[in-house]
Amino acid sequence: MKRITAFLLALTVAAGLVFSFAPGAMAAYMELEDIYTEYGLGQTVTVKGRTDISIVVLYLTDPNGLGRIAMTLSGKELMAGYTFAIGRDWVLGPYTMVVGSGADVVNEYHFDVVQDPVNHNASSGNGNRVVATSISVSPASIEIKAGESATVEVTSAESTVKWETDDGDKISITGGKTATITGKRTGTAKAWAYSGNNYATVTVTVLPADREPVGTVTTPGNDGRQPDKTDEAAENGGSQTLPDAFNDLDGVEWAKESINALAAAGIVNGVGGGAFAPERNVTRAEFVKMAVEAFGFEHSGQALEFTDVDGGEWYADVVAIAAENGIVNGYGDGSFLPGNNISCQDAALILSRVAGMKGINMAAPASLPADDGTSEYAREAVSLLRSNGVISDEMGFEPLEKATRAQSAYMIYQIYALGRKNG
């Protein structure tokens, strides 16, 4: 709070808005209305209240402490209500917003940006989640292949039903009480049917168009599995040439072998239409799923729960397995942030732990390299993977940048290949 207040004071100083009051003078006044404690991606936040201050500052920070909004408002604008939208690409987790002038008048608010948002029109009190009682949808969860459609039925006393989704890239929805949901690319999305002040949720899992769901692939040691093309390629140092599994790999020649091998093993899938989307970012949940399945991790019995991992989500089991085996730790506030895109350095850190847990030997670097922008907590892991060829120059590894699907597949397969060589 002190850091934010200092920033707020700096903004007001820059704007010439520092107020000093003589002894006995009336203090500045500001009273703001409550806001909700939860918002979904794409929803709006309205800041409104009464004040006798001519200019106020609003400052919003995200879960990583980075400023999202820093702006000045007139007192009249504040009293009329200032509305901003939660970006579709914003990080999930807790946000802090302060509104005030200098260090004298500061209002601090905390709210969470969540994947499954509150229907604010159906709320009573400050951010209470309302369970719909006069609307239902059947079925409540569906599985469809990319390019295919399914029909859901809404039961409601209202004549009009509107639909929204948290990921228009994965699914599209048409219709009202009888709605058609079409899969566009693989993954999990949610759809909400709104009727009056109530809503109901459908969870949609979109499967690859060209294959059925695949089971867990076991460890690099094979564990009784029949040898497959992935094993052959790894054992031969990559000499086994596999046909391209996808039609959009020409721009990532360096990753082709890795992507094709992991696709043959069922560890990675396409996004529909024969494409892999190699430059698309990978969420923390998606990366953990690939790592857990590629190396055959199982439940260890040491339960570890995260505050933002719902047991009903597709990734809940693999995240739990990863945590139980010490592959991931989450954040200090107990969250995992499964929907956030993973950084290159965090992907490297997870894979260094995977190698350690699976007894995959890697030669330690003679010394840590000069500062390359890697955060201190990940420097040793990044250096280890780089010195053993898991991170290559051609893959464009930037520690703080988000990892792509191609980079993720490449690093996972290089660890896999190392395990086959020394296993």
Same-domain pairing of 291 and 169: no
pLDDT score of 105:
55
Examine residue 218 and state whether it is found in any structural domain, yes or no.
Answer: no
Tokens of 317: 């089991």
DSSP 255: G
Show which of 83, 114, 145 is a domain's final residue.
114
DSSP 295-308: TT----S-----TT
Evaluate whether 126 touches 36 at the Cβ level (below 8 Å): yes
Is 124 a member of any domain? no
Q: What is the pLDDT of residues 163-199, one digit of tens each?
A: 888 778 888 899 888 999 998 877 778 888 876 556 6
297 and 251, same domain (yes or no): yes
Could you tell me the CA-to-CA distances from 52 to 16, 28, 77 in Å, in that order? Answer: 17, 6, 12
> What single string gives the DSSP state of each residue in 315-362?
THHHHHHHHHTTS----TTS---TTSBPBHHHHHHHHHHHHHHTT---
Same domain flag for 135 and 235: no
- What's the whole-model pTM score? 0.47
Q: 170: which 2 tokens? A: 């994965």
Residue 198 lies in a domain: yes
Positive or negative: CA dihedral 259, 264, 269, 275: positive
Beta bridge partners of 39: 113
Asked if 370 and 412 sit in the same domain, the reply is: yes
Q: Could you tell me if residue 120 is inside a domain?
A: no
CB–CB of 225/218 below 8 Å? yes
Strand boundaries in 127-259, DSSP class E: 135-138, 141-145, 149-156, 162-165, 171-175, 178-183, 187-195, 198-207
Residues 214, 250 contacting (CB under 8 angstroms): no
Beta-carbon contacts of residue 81 (< 8 Å; ≥ 6 apart): 46, 47, 48
- Name, in order, each residue with C-beta under 8 angstroms of 403's C-beta and a sequence gap of 6 or more: 281, 282, 287, 341, 342, 343, 344, 346, 347
pLDDT at 158 over 90: no
> Does residue 49 sit in the same domain as residue 182?
no
Q: What pLDDT, on the 0 to 100 scale, is given for residue 287?
A: 95
Q: Which domain holds residue 168?
A: 131-207
Residue 215 CB-density burial (10 A; 0-12 exposed, 13-18 middle, 19+ buried): exposed
Residues 12, 109: one domain? yes
| 302, 388: one domain | yes
Domain boundary among 88, 114, 140: 114
Q: Read out DSSP for 360-410?
A: ---PPPSSPPSP-S--GGGHHHHHHHHHTTSS-GGGT--TTSBPBHHHHHH
In a domain, 261, yes or no: yes
Where are any strands of DSSP class E within 76-123?
A: 82-85, 93-101, 105-114
Task: Summarize the confidence of residues 247-272 as an average pLDDT.
Answer: 86
Rounded distance, CA 410 to CA 416, Å? Answer: 10
Would you place residue 255 in the very low, low, confident or very high pLDDT band (cuts 50, 70, 90)? very high
Residues 176 and 238 in one domain: no
Residue 1 has pLDDT above 50, yes or no: no
Least confident span in 271-275, 315-319, 342-346, 407-411: 271-275
* CATH number of the structural domain spanning residue 101: 2.60.40.1930
pLDDT, greater one: 166 or 258: 258
Domain-embedded: residue 213: no
State residue 352's pLDDT score. Answer: 93
CATH code of the domain in which 164 resides: 2.60.40.1080
Residue closest to 75 by CA, chosen among 98, 96, 87, 58: 58
Instruction: Looking at the structure, tell me whether residues 328 and 249 fall in a common domain.
Output: yes
The lowest-confidence range among 35-39, 217-221, 240-244, 348-352 is 217-221
**270-299 tens-digit pLDDT:** 887 788 999 999 999 999 999 998 888 888
* Number of domains into which the chain is organized: 3
Is 92 within a domain?
yes
- What is the band of 65 on the pLDDT scale with cuts at 50, 70, 90? confident
Last residue of a domain, one of 60, 82, 114: 114
**What is the structure's pLDDT at 422?**
64
Judgement on whether residues 147 and 79 belong to the same structural domain of the protein: no
Query: 68 and 61 in contact (C-beta within 8 Å)?
Result: yes
Tens digits of residue pLDDT in 89-132: 788 888 888 887 754 456 777 888 887 765 554 433 333 333 33
Q: Is the peptide bond before 208 cis (omega within 30 degrees of 0)?
A: no
Assess whether 16 and 63 both reside in one domain. yes
Asked if 393 and 369 count as a contact pair (C-beta separation under 8 A), the reply is no
Give the residue from 202, 309, 263 showing the smallest Cα distance to 410: 263
Tell me: pLDDT of 348 over 80.
yes
The Cα 158–Cα 42 span in angstroms is 25
125: in domain: no
Of 15, 145, 31, 52, residue with least CA distance to 99: 31
Distance CA 235, CA 254 (A): 19
Tokens of 50: 């009464």
Same domain, 189 and 300: no
